[in-house]
């Protein structure tokens, strides 16, 4: 219980620092603080908060044109949204991550994200859309 309280305080500290950095338009460093907060939230098994923070970090890394970190944060968020069964959000984030990975020419990660988006669509009962996505990478 005490450890969870310390982690909650740590998450809040990361987010306060991120807000301060965002006011200075320092998107890269703010995103890094958000990513640390997301990792801390995930370690407490608060997957919804962690997913939202990873997504936010991904957006801020994208503003900083850091496609490597943005792609990984979007993918982490997508995986967590899958875990909490928000399949529509997971699909969108897998596709966003795939787009970033394609800019990095990381074909394996691109394929993984496209297949993740297809799996999300299948969970939503949209099998034809899922099949169309799979055709892009097979």
Domain ranges of the chain: 2-137
**What's residue 2's pLDDT?**
54
Q: What is the mean pLDDT of each run of 10 residues along the chain (138 residues)?
A: 71 97 98 98 96 98 97 99 98 98 97 98 98 94
What pLDDT score was predicted for residue 55? 99
Q: Quick one: pLDDT at residue 108?
A: 98
Question: What is the CATH code of the structural domain delimited by 2-137?
Answer: 1.25.40.10
Q: Residue 3's pLDDT is what?
A: 62
The pLDDT assigned to 4 comes to: 61
Identify the pLDDT of residue 8. Answer: 83
CA separation, residue 34 to residues 88, 107, 133 (Å):
23, 27, 31
> Rounded distance, CA 117 to CA 127, Å?
11
């Amino acid at each position: 219980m005490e450890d969870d309280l310390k982690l909650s305080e740590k998450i809040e500290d990361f987010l306060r620092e991120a807000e301060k950095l965002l006011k200075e338009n320092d998107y890269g460093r703010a995103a890094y603080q958000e990513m640390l907060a997301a990792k801390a939230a995930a370690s407490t098994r608060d997957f919804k908060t962690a997913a939202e923070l990873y997504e936010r970090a991904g957006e801020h890394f994208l503003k900083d044109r850091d496609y490597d970190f943005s792609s990984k944060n979007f993918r982490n968020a997508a995986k967590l949204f899958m875990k909490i069964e928000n399949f529509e959000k997971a699909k969108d984030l897998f596709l966003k991550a795939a787009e970033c990975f394609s800019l990095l020419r990381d074909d394996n990660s691109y394929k993984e994200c496209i297949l993740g988006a297809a799996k999300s669509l299948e969970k939503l009962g949209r099998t034809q859309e899922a099949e169309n996505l799979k055709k892009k990478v097979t």
